[in-house]
Chains A and B, each alone.
Chain A
Amino acid sequence: MNKAITDLEADALAPSKGLFQERWDILKRNRMAYASFLFLVFLLGLAVLGKVFTQVVVVFDPKVVRLSEKFLPPLTSFTSTLTPKEDAPTLGIYLLGTDELGRDVFARMLEGTSVSLTVGFVAVGISLTVGIFFGGVAGFYGRVKLGFLTVDTLIMRFVDIMLCFPTFFLILTVVALLPPSIYNIMIVIGLTSWMGTARFVRAEFLSLRDQDFVIAARSQAIPEWRIIFIHMVPNAIAPVLVSATIGVATAILTESSLSFLGFGVQPPDATWGNILADGKTFLFDAPWLTFIPGFTILFVVLAFNLCGEGLREAFNPKLRSTP
């Protein structure tokens, strides 16, 4: 009997929706953000498929050079007698045309999808890791003194110093001086964009560190790293998640700008950025080489931005348009 009552009470007291469910519903209500989210999920699937089909099971080969098939417009079917049969594109049609070396643009775009998204996600992953680490340490151990400076002063002034340099010029300087490699680009973009995250996390930690659940965790002698990363970071993650979504978009744009200047991901790796940068030379002869990657970047970055805005709205009750 007693047990039944507590069960009933628990049922009655349970919130009708979980926090995650509630935020998810708000995101869903924002149609643009929800559509962007679905588009990004689709894109992620496409990137995985692209990786598989261009590198593991080669269905679309982005590296085949067919010099007799240069600058074919999109949807041209394969009719050449000069190119060997085994070099023909899949289904015998160039879906998005060919470029200046006769490579299949569709296959290259497919390969670029995974490479571009990898650049974006790894760069943001690095910046999140560094940002959460520094922000967390500054927020949690802020009052500890090292000599005459507090840890907080030390870290936040370092953040200020990093913010002093114009990001793009700094990235350009570092990338130009390092050997060209896709990993260097990810690392450099990541290491020059963590300052915002560090500030967000520190600000959240300052308000979290004196709250009851943290004091409770401390009283149970839970190790401090565990308090920081298991107990506090999940509570501080909302603004970070928003800035991360927008950060992926920025990283993709930065990579394309670097490609434009010739410092981006180097061939033979294809990214949207370097397909676009290579295509600009043939703007008048083969406009599809510019338009296809250009509009792809536009739509993908737009989707990331809209999705980030939708998340921001979902996490921040003040911004919601409908009560």
Chain B
Amino acid sequence: MKPEDIQRIRTAFHLDEPLHIQYVYWVQDLFTGELKSFKDNQPVMGKIWEKFLNSLPLFLIGTMITWFLAFPVGIKAALNRDSVFDRTSTFFSYALISIPGFFLSYLVIIFMVKTFDVPVIGMQTFGMEEAPLLLRSMDRVWHLTIPALMSAIAGTAILSRYVRSQMLEVIHEDYIRTARAKGLPEDQVIYHHGLRNALLPFITMFGLTIPGLIGGSVIFETIFAWPGMGRLGFEAILARDFPVILTLNFFSAVLVLLGTLVSDILYAVADPRIKF
């Protein structure tokens, strides 16, 4: 490449300006929708939106698995404190927190491929685009299951610990004793009086999981070749595609703020003691 060509490219992308001026250009381009990727000159917003739609089902299913699994386990462990179930679930949750996510995924891939012969790579089997709707959606579900399960596992382990300690704290409160004393059935005491009060901090936790949409998925989307936002970010980093990197970081910061705001509002709705 000739030096004048390099200079022309630098000028075209404002790379010869100081950093803060480049930042202003980036903000301008972002809000006018003109922002282009360095790599293929496609609009960044369009790229991110397309990958966002791919990441969303993975994130939703993963979050659902996390929350639907963590609560029963945590509550049961708290109600039967120091029982065998409590001890094993505690140990397993620590083990699952401690295992590197990609190592566990490889173990599961070996197991699943050898045992059930199910596909684990990508979003759909190659050549399935023309298949009937039922077959196609079945294929899609199979591809979704394992990545979602894997990305949910660490979250489940952490969350079930929180549920357990939160329930343990609530169960010793005076109002639980009162509820028992007035002869309410045990289920109503636990789930109506206990769980509802234990739920409060999880509103905050729910807000905090939203940014996981981008950051938490890099590893799993790379392992399972899932064309989502985490992978987009990873590939952008490899290609030094700064507009995409900056925009992704910008959006994840926005997601954090949104998550915090939503959880604050929900908290005020759920807890009458909090007034603004």
Chain A residues within CB distance 8 Å of chain B: 32, 163-170, 172-173, 176-177, 249, 253, 256-257, 260-261, 273, 276, 280, 283-284, 290, 294, 297-299, 301-302, 304-306, 309, 319, 321
Contact = CB atoms under 8 A, between A and B. Distances in A.
A165 B233 contact: no
B38 to A, nearest CB: 14
B249 interface: yes
B99 A298 contact: yes
Interface of B: 81-82, 91, 94-95, 97-103, 106-107, 110, 165, 211-212, 214-216, 218-219, 222, 230, 233-234, 237-238, 240, 245, 248-249, 252-253, 256-257
A15 B99 CA distance: 42
A283 B110 contact: yes
Contact of A260 (B82, B102, B211): B102
Nearest to B91: A32
A264 to B, nearest CB: 11
B98 A261 contact: no
- A-B interface, 8 closest residue pairs, ranked by CB to CB distance from nearest: A166-B215, A301-B98, A302-B98, A294-B103, A164-B253, A169-B215, A176-B237, A164-B256
A261 B218 contact: yes
Nearest to A297: B100
B216 A166 contact: yes
Contacts of B214: 166, 169
A173 B249 contact: yes
Nearest to B99: A298
Contacts, number: 101
Given A164-B256, A253-B100, A297-B100, A170 B249 contact: yes
B103 A302 contact: no
A156 B243 CA distance: 29
Contacts of B99: 294, 297-298, 301
Given A166-B252, A261-B234, A298 B245 contact: no
A218 B219 CA distance: 51
Given A260-B102, A298-B103, A321-B82, A169 B233 contact: yes
12 contacts: A168-B215, A168-B216, A169-B218, A169-B233, A177-B240, A260-B100, A260-B219, A290-B106, A294-B100, A298-B99, A302-B94, A319-B165
Nearest to B100: A256
Contacts of A280: 102, 106
Nearest to A299: B98
A172 B249 CA distance: 11
A319 B165 CA distance: 9
B100 A276 contact: yes
Given A165-B252, A166-B212, A173-B249, A306 B103 contact: no
A302 B95 contact: yes
